[in-house]
Copies of this chain bind each other. A is one copy, B any other.
């Protein structure tokens, strides 16, 4: 099932517009190419509005935002919405500053996203208006664990329902819900947290998966989460003595590059509630 989702990315090769932070942008571009999509980046408002029109999806990531790029997010976002393109929000650091929280909240209010992907602290900030985000990482106390899984699933469903879109809450255990059902995903490794931008990369890739699978968006979003986590597992198996987080970053992108329908189908670890 998920195999078909990545297959469609490779067949349709959707062009994805990314307004994203300058920290991890190169990795976002390379992972989009790795999964069969094409990336384009543009953040100047008038350019962003026009560039998004030739794409199939828009990934808005608020890390290293500024007033100019925020305007770019809104203008490109509105255009993307008019054209019924896929629209995804990655609220990096929501809860860590007023500008980030307010920008994310305003984006949610003014645009109709297909999906919002963030860590649990960021999503809690969007749900409750204030958060306990530790910088750009989730607060340990917020973490979704096997012990509090039921309440995590409930939260993801309620947030998705309220937001009117797919909610992808990623961490040690990932939750992807459309408000009705919730995928609980157990792919991935904790060492992925030692690489900057695995979340940003997933957001880019999820946008591509949604754009290539417009009729099965919940599955597509869950498939992207599984693909990223599975790439983390495959990449870890290829680590050599002395390899650290820089090698791991490269190996994860490489694992996505080689991931086909069968690999994803067999490696995906999830249940639906």
Query: Chain A: residues with CB nearer than 8 A to chain B?
Result: 15, 21-27, 29-30, 33-34, 38-44, 46-47, 50-51, 54-55, 63-68, 93, 96-100, 134-137, 194-197, 234, 238, 242-247, 249-258
Q: A15-B134, A41-B23, A250-B247 are in contact. Are A100 and B47 (CB under 8 A)?
A: yes
Q: Is the CB of A238 within 8 A of B242?
A: yes
Q: Which residue of the partner chain, among B22, B39, B245, contacts A33 with CB atoms under 8 Å?
A: B245
Distance between A231 CB and nearest chain B CB, rounded to angstroms: 10
Distance between A100 CB and nearest chain B CB, rounded to angstroms: 7
Q: A66-B68, A194-B257, A196-B29 are in contact. Are A246 and B242 (CB under 8 A)?
A: no
Q: Is the CB of A257 within 8 A of B245?
A: yes
Q: Is the CB of A34 within 8 A of B194?
A: yes
Q: Is the CB of A195 within 8 A of B22?
A: no
Q: A33-B195, A43-B66, A194-B257 are in contact. Are A246 and B238 (CB under 8 A)?
A: no
Q: Is the CB of A247 within 8 A of B254?
A: yes
Q: Is the CB of A44 within 8 A of B99?
A: yes
